Amino acid sequence: MIMRVFIVIFTLLAITGCNATGPKFEQVELPSNKLAKVYLYRPWAMMDGSASPTIQINGVDSFNIKNGGYKVLELQPGLNTITVKKGNPFYWRAKEMTVKEELKASEVYFLRLTAAVGSSAFIGSTPVVSGNYSFGYVDKETAFKELQETKQN
What is the tens place of the pLDDT at every residue in 85-111? Answer: 987 766 788 899 999 999 999 999 999
Better-scored residue on pLDDT, 37 or 129: 37
**The dihedral formed by the CA atoms of 120, 121, 123 and 125, expressed in degrees to the nearest 10:** 100
The reply to whether the predicted model has a pTM over 0.85 is: no
The confidence score (pLDDT) of residue 13 equals: 44
Q: Average pLDDT in the 29-56 region?
A: 93
47 neighbors 117 (Cβ within 8 angstroms): yes
